[in-house]
A and B are shown apart, each in its own frame.
Chain A
Amino acid sequence: MNNFITILKKELLDIFRDKKTLILTIFLPIIIYPAMFSFMSSSINNLQDEAGKEINIYIEGDSSSSVADAILSIPAVNLVKTDTPQELLKKGDIQLIIQIPDKFDDNIMAGKNDKITILIDEESNKSMIAESMINEILEGYKNNLVAQRLADSGLDTSILSPFTLEVKSGINEGEDANSFSSMMMSMLPTLIIILMISSTIGMAADLGAGEKERFTFEPLLSTSANRSSIITGKIVALCVVAFISLVANVFVMAFSMGKFMNFGGEVDININLYSILGMLLIGVLVLIFLATLQISISIYARSTKEANSYLAAVTMPSMLLAFIPYMADAKSINPAFFNIPITNSICLMKEFIVGIYDFKHILMVVCWHLFYILISIAFARFMFSREEVIFRT
């Protein structure tokens, strides 16, 4: 036990004196997240503003029709005259090509059903925003036309709106439904796990293969400390630093989302205490499992460079597993997902976020993780006991 504490303390001291690790795992996210989210938010808002200021369109067909007049009545809309509209659309010089059939007004008056086609550049956000604005104008135009026809037939136009529609949150009383906040919160578990996986790689490589590279491994093995103390000290040190990094990352991420992201409404990151504790518990279990696995792999490598390659190879499938439930609805998760490593931790975190505390799911995921931890510890002990691993040249 004493040796375990000695190794843990030394590893923590060593890691916290490594400025490179501290900057990359703790300080950089603190600077990056606010910058990233405010940049994302301002970029989207700027794009919307820019699109609202100037929309260049080309009208093919009846450009003197009343519908064309309605479109051109928007101050931001500019009509561009060109022989090569599709080329301009591809280049981004115009945002839309609107095809209006000839004699559109006459056909409408005659009660014929005509078709207006809008050609968009689906690769351009500006084109998509312009389409949404023009679509709104056309909807208004269509409603006016219908209202006029009803009036001409002596019917009350109020039959067009037999009811009004209001969308509100049914689970958070008195609040408007904030789908963006919900989407961000649903993405949070995946982000947490990915951050955990990626933040530990460099440290794991240093804690295992780094000892071989620095030639400190043999002096360490020649002390009275048994190998279990050495490996446990290293795993716990990795978990502690990764946990601090995780908490710092998640806190700054949530704070930055709320503070710097604004898409017409506030992003409300609101998770209750039980959910936070549940997520921390699952996070810690995943951390122990991953850290143990990473240290075992790292100890097999001859150098930190080699360890980084092996760890990247192991990290890739973990990342893919983390993305499986990325967009899954927390309230209807496929039960099979609770049996897949990594995926199951994210699914349970998703449930916690929306306030679901399903005992069966919790028990399943905790048991699976205890099993993963036991397996990874057995693997680590096996690796540490193998002479061909320890003295691999």
Chain B
Amino acid sequence: MLTLENVTKSFKKTTVVNNLTFSVRPGEIVGLLGENGAGKTTTLRMISTMLKITSGNIKVNDINVKEKPADVRKNIGILFGGDVGLYDRLTGRENIRYFASLYGMSKDEANKRVDELAESFGMKEYIDKPVGKYSRGMKQKISIARSIVHNPSVMLFDEPTTGLDVSAAKIVQDFILQCKKEGKTILFSSHSIKEVEKLCDRVVIINKGNLLENCTLEELKEKHNDDNIEEIFLKIIGGEANE
């Protein structure tokens, strides 16, 4: 369970996230929608304790991010978009094991978990080769495995398919749906309306740090009397749909 209560983040005099309140239940995928600079990444960084909250409160499985940030991080897995962020000179196994150790897993636990992940993602053939020699898809799988090595119950996705080709994006989308099946709490940040429509149960739309909508896709369509989510989104954030 993930809960944000009146969360505000300011950098000096600029407020990037303003009084944000929403929650995500286990087994639910909530899409965090907004344009570039809307405050999506800042929100995810606050949830993952990388950024401090200016005011308000965030709880991850009832653990307060201000009080026990290290415990919160143990409960969270993050998959970032764009570059996969792996160490090219290390093997896939070493990359995943490194993060497992940093999450406090013992050597045996980490090795066992890496074997499980290698099996379930079909990485056994290449997991002991240096990551620098991998294809984009192979790297993406290692990156996914790294994000769940500590078996977190809350998953954060920060525009995870940005810059990916179709097959690599499919790997990520399948993984998100798998997380939902496993009952994980999922917050999915994106500016791809199609992806949100395909994956999310509910959307939280933010613009310039302010919460504009927090409802299911059906409720959104009903409220705006429109079936085109893209047009609704543009209407909400004050833009005009390009025909």
Contacts and interface: CB of A to CB of B under 8 A. Distances in A.
A216 interface: yes
Contacts of A82: none
Nearest to A219: B85
A215 B85 contact: yes
Given A222-B48, A391-B45, A17 B78 contact: no
B175 to A, nearest CB: 16
B70 A387 contact: no
A223 B80 contact: no
Interface string B44-84: 01001111100000000000000000100110101010111
A214 B94 contact: no
Interface residues of B, number: 32
Contacts of A388: 11
A293 B110 CA distance: 34
Interface residues of A, number: 26
Contacts of A222: 48-50, 73, 76, 78
Interface string B86-115: 111110001000110111100000000000
A291 to B, nearest CB: 20
A217 to B, nearest CB: 8
A6 B94 CA distance: 11
Interface string A379-393: 000000001101100
Given A6-B101, A224-B104, A215 B82 contact: yes
A7 B103 CA distance: 12
**Most chain B beta-carbon contacts within 10 A, residue among A10, A214, A217, A222:** A222
A221 interface: yes
B98 A218 contact: no
Contacts of B141: none
Contacts of A216: 85-87
A347 B101 CA distance: 44
A14 B98 CA distance: 12
A214 B11 contact: no
Contact of B83 (A3, A17, A214): A214
B108 to A, nearest CB: 14
Nearest to A385: B52
Given A215-B82, A216-B86, A387 B101 contact: no
Interface string B118-155: 00000000000010000000000000001100000000
Contact of B103 (A10, A13, A224, A387): A224
A220 interface: yes
A14 B89 contact: yes
Interface in A1-29: 2-3, 6-7, 10, 13-14, 17-18
Contacts of B11: 387-388
B39 to A, nearest CB: 13
Contacts of A18: 89
Contacts of A221: 48, 50
Contacts of B98: 6, 10
A225 interface: yes
A226 interface: yes
Interface string A267-288: 0000000000000000000000
**Most chain B beta-carbon contacts within 10 A, residue among A3, A214, A218:** A218
A384 B50 CA distance: 11
A219 B48 CA distance: 10
B104 A2 contact: yes
Contact of B51 (A7, A214, A223, A387): A387
Given A2-B104, A6-B101, A224-B103, A214 B85 contact: yes
A130 B45 CA distance: 74
Given A218-B78, A219-B78, A14 B90 contact: yes
A10 B11 CA distance: 33
A224 B70 contact: yes
A145 B63 CA distance: 103
Nearest to B79: A219
A224 B87 contact: no
Contact of A224 (B84, B86, B102): B102
Interface in A76-106: none
B95 to A, nearest CB: 9
Contacts of B78: 218-219, 222
Nearest to A225: B102
A217 B50 CA distance: 11
B100 to A, nearest CB: 9
Given A218-B50, A387-B11, A224 B80 contact: no
Contacts of B88: 214
A13 B93 CA distance: 14
Given A10-B90, A219-B78, A391-B45, A2 B85 contact: no
Interface in A363-393: 387-388, 390-391
B132 to A, nearest CB: 10
Nearest to B105: A224
A115 B99 CA distance: 84
B102 A223 contact: yes
Contacts of B104: 2, 224
Across chains A and B, which 6 residue pairs bring their CB atoms closest together, nearest first? A215-B85, A223-B102, A215-B83, A17-B89, A6-B101, A225-B102
Interface of A: 2-3, 6-7, 10, 13-14, 17-18, 214-226, 387-388, 390-391
Given A217-B85, A218-B80, A223-B103, 16 more contacts: A3-B102, A7-B102, A14-B89, A17-B90, A215-B82, A215-B83, A215-B85, A216-B86, A216-B87, A218-B50, A218-B78, A219-B78, A221-B50, A223-B102, A226-B70, A387-B52
Interface of B: 11, 45, 48-52, 70, 73-74, 76, 78, 80, 82-90, 94, 98-99, 101-104, 130, 146-147
5 contacts: A13-B89, A14-B90, A216-B85, A223-B73, A390-B50
